[in-house]
Amino acid sequence: MRLHILGICGTFMGGVAALAREQGLTVAGSDAQVYPPMSDQLTALGISLHSGYDADALQPAPDEVIIGNALSRGNPAVEHVLDAGLRYRSGPQWLGEQVLSGREVLAVAGTHGKTTTTSLLAHLLESAGAEPGFLVGGVPANFGISARLGQGRSFVIEADEYDTAFFDKRSKFVHYRPKIAILNNLEFDHADIFPDVAAIQRQFHHLVRTVPGHGRLIVNAHDHHLAEVLAMGCWTPVETFGLDQGDWQARLLHEDGSAFSVHHHGRCLGEVHWPLLGTHNVLNGLAALAAAAAQGADPTALLSAFAEFRNVKRRMELIGEVGAVRIYDDFAHHPTAIAATLAGLRAKVGSARIVVALEPRSNSMRLGAHAAALAPALAAADEVVFLQRPELPWDAAGVIATLRGHGRAVADTGQLVDAVATSVRPGDHVVFMSNGGFENAPRRLLAALQTAG
């Protein structure tokens, strides 16, 4: 069978392509821009790639076209699929029907922390000998690939609330039918498709409705939006997790979150010592452990596996160090995530200077939906360089003014790299925050400092 995937270079659709290829299907795909590292990964799997969405790539006609949610009516490839009467499905629908059917699915949902928690859960189950399949919205360092079928009965998937496709406006996760679902947190996001948090809650409740009575919901005990979702109706046993709260509890041993004890129903299971920082990651870890236990793994035996966990690329990834300046790349998409990441770093580095280079790139950030929350989220930074591209539809001056003289805006990435390069001092920690490629700015800064030094 021949598949053609439209939007193949996105992390999710690239994972779908890898799984289809592993099943023995002939896979090709198109994207607006075909570029590394995803293009290299897909080419290595024997997947042919086409740059652009012209209809020529769909000749001869494939048996089926998988359409990513980035494509809409008016796209030349989409119009050709419809006019030619080609068979088509969304990525989540194909995945649910062709990969997840018959598997025991563990889905990780939430506004923040999905990729880290999914990667950690897959790592814990692997450590328990379960050989799970997985699809992650990133590349987990412990596996080096974003997706695999696996040999065991378990399949771990990052469960995104974003819409499925132009012809299916439900959240992706309604296609996954999990046995175990982590509800990590819920805040307003995706302002391009959701009018308010209540609309997101309705989608989360659609997910809750699909979890069977013999399954499990693993729910953040601190999140009132999730409590409201469960109040809409719940037919599945619930276990909660939190800091000193819930059925599964973590108690910090180090303020930066690098060590904590784990307690289940009042009984201490032991301690976790691992390389991640921040209370947000402690909660991610607790959720993953609870889900692994619900799937039958021994949670006490898994505590030592945390020390071997290596996070996904671009989650506070240390790019390099030069002249005692440490440079990190972080996938920042929401003020809450920004605040949590900086709080963890602050607890780790103490009084050392933290410099943030921020690109507001997510749809919600670009639309200004989070503008009022950005300055408070950046409070732990000593200096902020804000990338305000000319096409940004709102003025960052209000955010800069609230930073009490520690912030400035620049119009392009070259100016941003130059501004950071001239202001850093030995001992600084520089964090680049964007959910896009940021035009390779972290590595450009590293190269500039190496040249200057």
Taking only the tens place, the pLDDT of each residue in 280-317 is 899 999 999 999 999 999 999 999 999 999 977 777 78
Q: Which residues are annotated as a binding site?
A: 110-116
Domain check: are 86 and 69 in the same one? yes
> Which of 308, 343, 361 is the endpoint of a domain?
308
Do 107 and 217 reside in the same domain of the chain? yes
Which pLDDT value is given to residue 89?
A: 97
CATH code of 21's domain: 3.40.50.720
Checking if the pLDDT of 240 tops 90, the result is yes
**Residues 87-143: tens digit of each pLDDT:** 999 999 999 999 999 999 999 999 888 999 999 999 999 999 999 999 998 888 899
Q: Specify if 128 maps to a domain.
A: yes
95 occurs within a structural domain? no
The pLDDT, as a whole number, for residue 364 is: 61
Same domain, yes or no, for 108 and 184? yes
- In this prediction, residue 113 carries a pLDDT of 87
Q: Does the pLDDT value for residue 370 go beyond 70?
A: no
Q: In this predicted structure, what is the pLDDT of residue 268?
A: 98
Confidence of residue 253 (pLDDT cuts 50, 70, 90): very high
- Per the CB < 8 A criterion, the answer to whether 410 and 416 are in contact is yes
Distance between alpha carbon 283 and the CA centroid of its chain, in Å? Answer: 15
By the 8 A CB rule, do 180 and 291 touch? yes
Is position 448 within any domain?
yes
The pair of structure tokens assigned to 371 is 């503008």
Q: Is the predicted pLDDT of residue 453 greater than 70, yes or no?
A: no
Task: Report strand pairing: 163-165 vs 407-410.
Answer: unpaired
Within-domain flag for 96: no
Q: Beta strand 147-148 with 133-135: parallel, antiparallel or unpaired? A: antiparallel
Contact 158, 152 (CB under 8 A): no
Tell me the pLDDT band of 31, cut-offs 50, 70 and 90. Answer: very high
Q: Are 302 and 420 in the same domain?
A: no
Indicate if 379 and 362 belong to the same structural domain: yes
Q: How many whole angstroms from its chain centre is CA 423?
A: 31
pLDDT recorded at residue 428:
93
The Cα–Cα gap between 1 and 26 comes to 6
* Same-domain status, 222 and 335: no
In angstroms, what CA-CA distances link 69 with 43, 113, 172, 361, 375? 22, 21, 9, 18, 31
Residue 369 pLDDT greater than 60, yes or no: no
237: CB partners within 8 A, 6+ apart: 213, 215, 216, 217
H or E segment at 328?
strand 325-330
Contact 332, 433 (CB under 8 A): yes
E strand or H helix at 446: helix 441-452
Known binding-site positions for ATP: 110-116
The whole model's pTM is what? 0.83
Q: Which domain holds residue 182?
A: 102-308
Residues 301 and 343 reside in one and the same domain: no
| 3-class secondary-structure state, position 452 | helix
Burial 319-355 (b: 16+ CB within 10 A, else e): eeebeebbbbbbbbbbbbbbbbbbbbbbbbbeeebbb
What's the CATH number where 414 sits? Answer: 3.90.190.20
For the segment 148-202, what is each residue's pLDDT rounded down to a tens digit? 999 999 999 999 998 999 999 999 999 999 999 999 999 877 667 778 899 999 9
> pLDDT per residue over 7-21, tens digit each?
998 889 999 999 999
Residue 365 lies in a domain: yes
Q: 363 falls in which pLDDT band (50, 70, 90)?
A: low
What proportion of the chain, given as a percentage, has pLDDT over 70? Answer: 96
For all residues of the chain together, what is the average pLDDT?
A: 91
Note whether 195 and 332 are same-domain residues: no
Residue predicted with more confidence, 155 or 33? 155
Domain annotation covers residue 54: yes
pLDDT of residue 83: 97
Identify the three-state secondary structure at position 283: helix
Residue type present at position 121: L
Determine, yes or no, domain membership for 97.
Answer: no
The CATH code of the domain that includes 257 is 3.40.1190.10
Residues 130 and 262 in one domain: yes
pLDDT, average across residues 72-92: 97
Return the H-helix or E-strand segment holding 294. helix 279-294
Structural domain includes residue 190: yes
Residue finishing a domain among 90, 119, 147 = 90
Q: Which of 250, 284, 308 is the last residue of a domain?
A: 308
pLDDT of residue 452: 78
377 and 420 share one domain: yes
Q: Based on the domain organization, do 301 and 169 belong to the same domain?
A: yes
pLDDT at res. 284: 95
Q: Using one digit for the tens of pLDDT, what is the confidence trace for 320-361?
A: 888 899 998 988 767 878 887 888 889 888 999 999 988 887
Per residue in 384-414, pLDDT (tens digit) is 888 888 887 777 777 777 777 688 888 889 9
- State the pLDDT at residue 440: 86
Considering its fold, how many domains does the chain have in total? 3
- Please check whether residues 251 and 341 belong to one and the same domain: no
